[in-house]
Structures are given as C-alpha cells and as structure tokens.
Amino acid sequence: MKRRTIAARSNWESIVASQGLTYHHVAGRPYWNETSFYEFSAREIDNLEEATNQLHQMCLAAVQRVIDEDLFARLRISAPAATLVRRTWEAEPPAIYGRFDLAYDGAQIKLLEYNADTPTALVEAAVVQWYWMKDNFPGCDQFNSIHERLIAKWKELLSYCGTPLYFAGVDDAAHEDLMTLTYLADTAQQAGHRVTLLDMAEIGYDHDSYHFVAPTREPIRSIFKLYPWEWMVAEEFA
C-alpha cells in the first residue's frame, strides 16, 4: 500500500457535489480530500476482502452467542427489543450492506468498528472515488464493486420486496443521510424496484389494520431505514 500525493481537480467541489457528495465540507473544513490517494496491490485487496469476510462471520457468531446466552441486558437491549432481535434472527430477512472501519498498515488489519445499522460513507466509496479515478487514472480499477453488487442484491430481492420499496431517514443541512438514501434507492431502481423516499416522520401507523403506512396510507411492506434502532425502540411508535 502506497500513499501518493496528487493535485485536486480544479473544480472538485462542484464535481463531487453533482455526484451526491453535497457534504464535501464540514464545519468549514474539507471533508472530502483528493490531494492524496492510496495505491494497493491485488494481493493486498484480496487480504482485506478475506479479513472483512472473516470479521463479518465473527460478528454473526458474536450475535449468536448473545442470543444463546441471553446477554441482551449486558448490551442494554430491552426485553421487548430482544424478542424482536430473536425473531429477526430466526427469520433471516435480507441484509443489504454494512461498513467496516479497518486500520491497515499494509500488513496487519485491525477492526475499529462495524456499522451494520446506519452506515454512511457509501456515496464516497461507491460513486465519488470511482469518478475521481476515471478523471485521473482512466485505465485503473478502484478495487471495489459496491455499486454493481448493490444492484445485483436488489435484483435478487425483486420478488421478496413489496412495491413500492420505501427508503426512510432524516435530512439535515448537510444532506448526508438523504444522499446516502437516494443513492441506495437509485441502485434499487436500476435493479427494477419502484422506489419511494420518506422522512421517518412521514411513516404512519394505521390503528385499524395494524400496519405501518405511507403518507398515501398504503401499507409499507418493505422499507430500508437509515435510522438507528436504539432511537426507534425509544420513540412513540415503538
């Protein structure tokens, strides 16, 4: 792994914003920095992928242990939420994506965090760096296929998901979550789903039919939410 320096594209802010990275600055400082990049060998990438897959399996094993040994209280997961966790674990609904934060020095790989609930940094990893690479090194490869794999996964789920497929979250001034949701919805749409974006507050509950409903009062059959479970289980609809 080599760290290289490079000149930023002259109009990089407008470029990345048009690609969905509207939050290229945070608190007045650049969040997106394209004055350096990392160059990997194929073997290094293979090692990272293998480690990531192993870590995912280890995280699943950890959840299995929590369930088997009823360790929910130690994780501050309430009894009603634990019931839902068990039920979901048995039903195995599809998982779309998660984000591993790894420390890597070219040899050792260390897990810093696994965010499998509300991961962002997706637009950056799947879209913006790809276009950056095409502008600077059109013959190179970015060594990830997040975009293609998301579309492939959504295609797998065409018969599983209800229509429309909803994407819900909250927006704020930086629009990071909105752009992440919109990107995911874009990939689902390309896979053939009819998609609808919602704010979390727009989700309704029909007390007669016991359904969560859209603003149109249509029952929500399938939804992707970019909103923490620990918030949801503490709110009114919980």
Partner 1 sequence: MKRSRTVVLSLLSATALGLTGCESRKELKTCVDPDNVVQDDDKCRDVDRRYPYGGSYYHWIYGGSSRDGTYVSGRSRMFGGSNAPDAGVETATPSEAAAHGGSISEGHVSYHGFGASAHGGESGHAGEGGHGTGHGGAGE
Binding to partner 1 (CB under 8 A): which residues in 171-200?
A: 171-180, 182-183, 185-186, 189-190, 195, 199-200
> Per rule CB under 8 A, is residue 164 in the interface with partner 1?
no
* Residue ranges in 16-75 that form contacts with partner 1 under rule CB under 8 A: 17-23, 26-28, 31
For residues 228 and 117, the answer to whether their CB atoms sit within 8 Å is yes
Contacts with partner 1: how many residues (CB under 8 A)? Answer: 77
Query: What distance lies between CA 91 and its chain's CA centroid?
Result: 21
Q: Which amino acid is at 16?
A: V
- Determine how many CB atoms are found less than 10 A away from the CB of residue 137: 13
When the beta carbons of 66 and 128 are compared against partner 1, the nearer one is: 128
Closest CA to 224 of 168, 162, 154, 155: 168
> Which region, judged by CB under 8 A, interacts with partner 1, from 52-60, 67-75, 80-88, 166-174?
166-174
Residue from the set 48, 81, 109, 124 that interacts with partner 1 by CB under 8 A: 124
- Closest distance to partner 1 from the beta carbon of 157 (Å): 18
Triad 110, 111, 115: Cα angle to 5°: 160
When the beta carbons of 157 and 189 are compared against partner 1, the nearer one is: 189
Residue from the set 169, 191, 193, 196 that interacts with partner 1 by CB under 8 A: 169
Residue from the set 101, 106, 152, 156 that interacts with partner 1 by CB under 8 A: 101
Peptide bond into 164 cis (omega under 30): yes
Q: What is the DSSP pairing of strand 25-26 with strand 29-30?
A: antiparallel
